[in-house]
Structure 1
Amino acid sequence: MASIQIESVVKTYNDTPVLHGLDLEIGDGEFVSFLGPSGCGKSTLLYCIAGLEAISGGRICFDRQDFSARAPRDRNVALVFQDYALYPHMSVRDNIAFPLRQQGVDEATIAAQVKWAGDMLGVTALLDRAPADLSGGQRQRVAVGRAVVRNPAALLMDEPLSNLDASLRVHMRTEIRRLQRELGVTVIFVTHDQEEAMVMSDRIAVMDGGRLQQFADPMTVYRAPANRFVAGFIGSPRMNFLPGDGLGGSAAVTVGVRPHDLGPGDTADDGRFRLDGRLVLIEPAGPVHFLDVEVGGQIVKATVAEPDGLALGETLTLRAPAQRVYRFDAASGAALPNL
C-alpha cells in the first residue's frame, strides 16, 4: 500500500492550463474521492497519478518518492474505468489473470490469485463465462477483480459506477467500500455524484476549474463548506442562496441555508433564521416533502415531514437554526464566520 503526495501539480494542453498548482496528500490505506462537475480536472488528475498523462509542473510522489517521470507500469497502481474495458474474447478467468500473465507470474500463483479474487468478489461461478454473458454489475466486479488481483499499492477508479442503474450503484458502492477496508488499499475514486462521494470516502477533494476547492472529511465538507461553490455542490437539493441585503443585511454578503435545515415554523422571534414567502409547490419525496416557497421573487426550497394543513398559495413562515445559516462573501464566494 502507499501514501500519495500531489505537490503543486500543473497540467496544460496546448498552453491551456487544466490543473492549477494542486496540493494534497492522501494517506496510506485512505479512501479519497475526487468530486466535481464535468470538466473540473478530476479525471485528468487521476490519469496524472497513474502516469497515463504527463504533468507540466510539480511532483507526484508515492511514499515520498518522486514518481513524476516514471512509466505507468512502474507505479504499481491499478485503474478501473467507467466502461469496464474487459477483453471480449477472453473468459472471466483469463480477464482477471491477464495482468499477472503480463508480469510473468507462474500459473500456480495465477490460479490461486484468481480464486482469491473470485471468492472475494462473488464471481467464482462466472469464471468460465465470457464478458458478454454478464450483467453490468457482474462486469464491474470482474473489472475490480482484475485490478486488485496483483495487490496494487493504489486502486484508481474513474467513475466506475456511472453505467449502472440506481439500485445496483448503491449495492456496488457498498461492495467497493467493503473491499477497500478488507484489503487496506489506498483508493482514489473519481465521481461527479456527491452522494456517492459522501457515503464512500474518508475524505473528499472537491474540485472546480482545475483548482482544489476543499479537501476534508464528508461531514466537514457538508457542514463547514470552504466557499459558495462547495456549499452549492454538496447536498441535494442544493443549498438556497439569498442576497444579504434582502434579509436586512449587507449586499456584500450572500446567505445560504440548506433545504433540510429549513422548514415551516411559528412567527415567534426566538433568534432563529426566518423567511416569509408564498407556498407554490409541494413535492413528495419519500420520508420528507420538499416545499417550494417564493421569497422575494426567487424560489426557496424547504422540507417538512408531513404537509398536512399546508395549502398552495398561502403565506408560509420558514425557520432554521441560526447555526445552520451560512454566510459567503458575495464577490469571492469565500465562507465568512457565522453570526
Structure 2
Amino acid sequence: MASIKISGLEKRFHTVHVLKGLDLAIEDGEFISFLGPSGCGKSTLLFCIAGLEEINEGTIRFDGRDITDLGPRERNIALVFQDYALYPHMSVRENIAFPLRQQKLDDGTIGKQVAWAADVLGIEALLDRLPAELSGGQRQRVAVGRAIVRNPSVLLMDEPLSNLDASLRVRMRTEIRKLQKELGITVIFVTHDQEEAMVLSDRIAVMKDGIVQQFAAPMEVYNHPANRFVAGFIGSPQMNFLPAELCGATAGHVVGVRPHDLKPGTVPGGLTLSGELMLVEPAGPFQFLDVAVGGHVVRATCSDPAGLSPGERITLSAGADAVRYFAADTGLRLTPSVTETESRLHAL
C-alpha cells in the first residue's frame, strides 16, 4: 500500500493547460475520488499518477519516494478502465493471470494468486469462460481481479462503472468499497457521478478546469462547499441559487439553499420565500415543488402535496443554518455569523 503526495503538478497538451499547479496528499489506504464534469482533467491526473502521461512540472511521490520519472511498471500500480479491456481470446483464468505471466512468475505462484483473486471476487465458477460469455458485471469483476492479482500499492479506476446499468452500478460500487476495505489498498476512483463519489469515498477532490476546487470528506463537501461550483455540482437536485435582493442579503452575495432544506411553511428566523407553484413532481417518499419566485424557478420538497395545486400562491422556508452565502463575483462561500444570517433573511 502507499501514500501519495502530488506537488505543483502541471500538465499541458501543446497550448492547452490541462492541470494547473495541483497539490494533493493522499493517505495510505484511503479511497479517494476525483470528481468533476467532462474535460476538468480528472482522467489526465489519474494517468499522470499511473505514469501513462508525462507531467510538465511538479513531483509525484509514493511513500516519500519520488516516482515522477518512473514508468508504469516501476510504480507498482494497477489500472481498471471503463471498457474492461479484457483479452477476448483468453479465458477468465488467463486474463487474470496475464500480468503475473508478464512478470515471469512460476506456474505455482500464478495459480495461487489467481485462485485468491477469484475467491475474493466470487468468480471461481467463471475461470474457464471467455469474456464473451460473461455479463457486464462479471467482466468488471474480472478486470478488477486482473488489477489486484499482483498486490499493487495503488489501484487506479477510471470510471469503471459507467458501462453498467443503474442497479448493477449500485451493487458493484458496494463490492468495490468492501474489497478496498478488506485489502486496505489505496484507491483513486475517477467519476463524473457525484452519488458514486459520495457513497464510495473517504475524501473527494472536486475538480474544475484543471484545478481542485475542494478536497474533503463527502459530507464536508456537501454541507460546507468551498464555492458556488462545488455547491451546485454536489447534491441532487442541484442547490437553488438566488440573488441577494430576493433574500434580503448583503448586496454582491448569492444565496444558496438545497431543495431538501426548503419546504412549505415558515421557520422562525429562517429564509422565507413566496411564489407561484408551477409543478408538483412525484419522487417516491417525497415530492419536488417547482415554484416561481421573483423571476427565478426555485425547487423545494414536501412529503405530502395534498391541497397544493399549480397556479396557487405558496410560501417556502428553510432554517437559517441551511442557508449558504457566496460572493457574486468570485463564487467563494462566505461564512457570516448566525446573528448576521438571521438579520439578512426576511419574508417576501
Q: Same fold (TM over 0.5)?
A: yes
Kindly indicate whether residue 191 of structure 2 is the aligned counterpart of residue 191 of structure 1. yes
Equivalent in the alignment of 1:210 = 210
- Aligned-partner Cα distance in 2 for 1:295–1:246: 8
Equivalent in the alignment of 1:160 = 160
- Aligned-partner Cα distance in 2 for 1:287–1:186: 37
Amino acid corresponding to residue 285 of structure 2 in structure 1: P
Amino acid corresponding to residue 188 of structure 1 in structure 2: I
User: What SS does the aligned partner of 1:147 have?
Assistant: helix
Deviates more, 1:232-241 or 1:104-113: 104-113
Q: Give the C-alpha shift of residue 272 in structure 1.
A: 1.2
User: What SS does the aligned partner of 2:157 have?
Assistant: strand
Structure 2 contact 247–271 (Cα < 8 Å) conserved: no
Equivalent in the alignment of 1:177 = 177
Equivalent in the alignment of 2:112 = 112
User: What SS does the aligned partner of 2:33 have?
Assistant: strand
Equivalent in the alignment of 2:136 = 136
Equivalent in the alignment of 1:145 = 145
Equivalent in the alignment of 2:329 = 331
Equivalent in the alignment of 2:344 = none
Aligned residues: percent identity? 68
- Aligned-partner Cα distance in 2 for 1:327–1:212: 21
- Aligned-partner Cα distance in 1 for 2:285–2:51: 45
Amino acid corresponding to residue 125 of structure 1 in structure 2: A
Amino acid corresponding to residue 303 of structure 2 in structure 1: A
User: What SS does the aligned partner of 1:88 have?
Assistant: coil
The runs of 5 or more residues in structure 1 that have no matched partner are none
Deviates more, 1:192-201 or 1:309-318: 309-318
Equivalent in the alignment of 1:260 = 260
Amino acid corresponding to residue 110 of structure 1 in structure 2: I
Amino acid corresponding to residue 319 of structure 1 in structure 2: S
Aligned residues: 337
Structure 2 contact 249–255 (Cα < 8 Å) conserved: no
- Residues 270-291 of structure 1 show CA distances to partners (whole Å, capped at 9, x for unaligned) of 2011111111001111111111
- Aligned-partner Cα distance in 1 for 2:192–2:293: 30
- Residues 274-316 of structure 1 show CA distances to partners (whole Å, capped at 9, x for unaligned) of 1111110011111111110000111100011121111111111
**Aligned positions of 1:168-317 closer than 5 A:** 168-266=168-266, 270-317=268-315
Kindly indicate whether residue 3 of structure 2 is the aligned counterpart of residue 3 of structure 1. yes
- Aligned-partner Cα distance in 1 for 2:115–2:274: 63
- Aligned-partner Cα distance in 2 for 1:333–1:52: 34
- Aligned-partner Cα distance in 1 for 2:120–2:73: 25
What is the TM-score with the length of structure 1 in the denominator?
Answer: 0.98
The runs of 5 or more residues in structure 2 that have no matched partner are 342-348
User: What SS does the aligned partner of 2:206 have?
Assistant: strand
The 4+ residue runs of structure 1 with deviation greater than 4 A are: none
What is the TM-score with the length of structure 2 in the denominator?
Answer: 0.96
- Residues 86-136 of structure 1 show CA distances to partners (whole Å, capped at 9, x for unaligned) of 000100000000000000111111111111111111111000000001000
Amino acid corresponding to residue 178 of structure 2 in structure 1: R
- Aligned-partner Cα distance in 1 for 2:37–2:194: 10
- Aligned-partner Cα distance in 2 for 1:278–1:289: 16
